[in-house]
Structure 1
Amino acid sequence: MAAPRHNLLMFKKLVVVAAGMFAFGYALVPMYKAICEFTGINILALGEREIPGSGNARAKAKNTQVDASRTITVEFDANARGPWKFKPAQSSMQVHPGEMMTVMYEFENVQDRVMSAQAIPSYAPRQAAAHFNKLECFCFNQYTLAPGEKKQWPVVFVIDPKLAKDVTTITLSYTFFEVGSKTPAAPTAALGVSYKSGVGV
């Protein structure tokens, strides 16, 4: 009779251990979030916001890794190669390293035919390229616009706090060109904004 009683006791212990492991695993998610919010280690677990014009429904937003002691001016430059109107919605913005930002670019096909196009980015100074992280960008894809069609697409970016301290201004420059035409060289971004709001040449 001792053996069945021993087996029953062992079974009860195993049930308790299994239940404890399940409860611990279930509690890990809120515990992890609480720890991340307290320490600021995981910037992707800290809330959401809508990104206007974004193809994604929602994107992570709040970031406690922001270096508020530094401010960088980001200038936006647009160049059209072909019959397009292409410009940023704003010429520049003030950004803290580590801060997630969004800028909208505006496009219009002024031809009387359907056209497909793509953009090539460039940065000034060049050393900023390795620290300018685009989370969403129209330059990743080709786009087709009907005659006279207008669109807005976002660029969502974060500047790495490891960017050299002496860099205080970054120019993000795009060249928008028709797919199937000769691919232009990457734009040479100059400090100072000179976007072309009319039809490019």
Structure 2
Amino acid sequence: MTQQDGNEVVQTRKLNTQMFGKLIVIAILMFGFGYALVPIYKKICEITGINILTPKDVTIEEVRNTQVDTSRTITVEFDANVQGPWRFRPTVNSLQVHPGEMAQVVYEVVNTQARAIDGQAIPSYAPQQVAAHFKKVECFCFQQQTLGPNEAKQMPVVFYVDAALPKDVKTITLSYTFFEIGGPGKKTS
């Protein structure tokens, strides 16, 4: 090996060592950038308000439904009537609600007979104009109910009063009549 070949080998080793050092620095920078991406992403999402991964603790005031009209209070009275061998009543006589606010009331029905009975509840409203503004989300009146001998059931009604309810209406009466379906001589299969 000549002097010149020896110098080239040394020069090549020096260049390889420099390149190796640069690659190590680049790898460390790439790892650091990848590690920093998660907090940077979260901060950008928080600033822009998009794709919030971990929302901050909020107060009740911040969560309040903006469709609820808190400036008005409506009294909803509950009534129950029966046609058949039942005891049927609401568990509360009335509720105070704001238009747009979701509310729930429970009706209790008891079969007073020693046989199974099918029944259906039919709602009515007073004053009559509120029927279009009284929105039931869940109701036992949506389907027929079957009660076993001497069985009692708690049946919820989840509702809200539409904010478009005329301003002069301050009280609504929701009345259900619970009918026996088929009567006492009904044949079962």
Q: Which amino acid aligns with 1:117?
A: G
Q: Which amino acid aligns with 2:117?
A: M
Contact 1:102 1:155 in 2 (8 A): yes
Among 86, 91, 95, the residue aligned to 1:89: 91
Instruction: Quote the residue 2:34 is aligned against.
Output: none
Aligned residues: 139
CA–CA distance in 1 between the matches of 2:106 and 2:77?
Answer: 13
Q: CA RMSD in A?
A: 2.9
Q: Which amino acid aligns with 2:143?
A: N
1:30: how far off? 3.9
TM-score normalised to structure 2 length:
0.65
CA–CA distance in 2 between the matches of 1:80 and 1:126?
Answer: 21
Higher helix share: 2
CA–CA distance in 1 between the matches of 2:51 and 2:109?
Answer: 43
1:127 is paired with a residue of what secondary structure? helix
Instruction: Quote the residue 1:166 is aligned against.
Output: 168
Contact 1:63 1:100 in 2 (8 A): no
Instruction: Quote the residue 2:24 is aligned against.
Output: none
Runs of at least 4 residues of structure 1 off by over 3 A?
27-31
Q: Which amino acid aligns with 2:176?
A: Y
Q: Does 1:141 align with 2:148?
A: no
After the TM superposition, which residues 96-107 of structure 1 pair with which residues of structure 2 at under 5 Å, given as runs? 96-107=98-109
2:110 is paired with a residue of what secondary structure? strand
Among 110, 124, 130, the residue aligned to 1:122: 124
2:132 is paired with a residue of what secondary structure? helix
CA–CA distance in 2 between the matches of 1:105 and 1:81?
Answer: 16
1:128 is paired with a residue of what secondary structure? helix
Structure of larger gyration radius? 2
> Which structure 1 segments of 5+ residues have no match?
1-22, 35-39, 41-45, 47-61, 182-201
TM-score normalised to structure 1 length:
0.61
CA–CA distance in 2 between the matches of 1:133 and 1:29?
Answer: 32
